[in-house]
Amino acid sequence: MHKIQAFDDCVSELSRLPGIGPKTASRLAMHLLKMKPEDVRRLSEHLIAFKEKTVSCNICGGISENDVCPICRDSYRNTGILCVVEEAKDLFVIEQTGYFKGRYHVLGGKISPLDGVGPDNLRIANLADRIVQENIGEVIIATNPDVDGETTAAYLIRIMKKYPKLKITKLASGIAIGTHIEYADEITVVRALEGRREIC
């Protein structure tokens, strides 16, 4: 088969992205050919700009265009509540709901012995410092409800029990809105039962 080097290079670069296999990569590459040259250039420039302009926020570890992110700088946010997430992308999802008015703490991952990630590789010591220095009243643990996320949550709870006045909460687990109980896995159903709420 004849090869077009520029096409193969483009496909191999796109295939490195998460969730993009060789088929999707070549479909995306073919789409580039239909785009206007200035659009392809703008796409590329925005990818580089995002990478080069953003840094980790010195306080929460989220992404920011300055040393301190807009959320940590915002004096209207509730400074007594911290929501602890694994990654900055989780922060975005919670922030998009507009419901949470406190601030965040990004761990930068989760405890995962298989991947060689221990508590020391995460921003956990940093979290302990913040609890004291910022006089935090409540920590909401918002790690993912998978094995590693639950391990991380359990570890955080053990660490934070040292602060007697600190309220520790965790995101509710249960049946996701819009799905059917029929399709929920057993653990989710058990969690939904455990976390049942009294209506009247």
Dihedral sign from CA coordinates of 48, 49, 52, 56 = negative
What minimum distance in Å lies between the beta carbon of 32 and a second copy?
A: 5
What minimum distance in Å lies between the beta carbon of 15 and a second copy?
A: 11
Question: What tokens does 120 get?
Answer: 């020391």
| Residue 78 and residue 136 in contact, taking contact as beta carbons nearer than 8 Å | no
Q: Which is nearer to a second copy, 27 or 161 (CB)?
A: 27
Q: Which is nearer to a second copy, 8 or 129 (CB)?
A: 8
Task: Identify the bridge partners of residue 112 per DSSP, sorted by sequence position.
Answer: 117
What minimum distance in Å lies between the beta carbon of 149 and a second copy?
A: 17
What minimum distance in Å lies between the beta carbon of 102 and a second copy?
A: 13
Collapsing DSSP states into helix, strand and coil, what is residue 139?
strand
Task: Identify the bridge partners of residue 64 per DSSP, sorted by sequence position.
Answer: 55
Chain residues binding a second copy by CB under 8 A are 1-7, 9-10, 13-14, 16-20, 24, 26-33, 35, 37, 39-54, 63-65, 69-71, 74, 87-89, 92, 95-96, 98
* Strand ranges across the sheet with 167-170: 103-106, 81-85, 138-142, 167-170
Taking each helix axis from N to C end, the angle separating 22-34 and 5-15, rounded to the nearest 10 degrees, works out to 120
Q: Which is nearer to a second copy, 21 or 195 (CB)?
A: 21
What minimum distance in Å lies between the beta carbon of 148 and a second copy?
A: 17
Q: Which is nearer to a second copy, 36 or 165 (CB)?
A: 36
| Residue 62 and residue 91 in contact, taking contact as beta carbons nearer than 8 Å | yes
Q: Which is nearer to a second copy, 44 or 157 (CB)?
A: 44
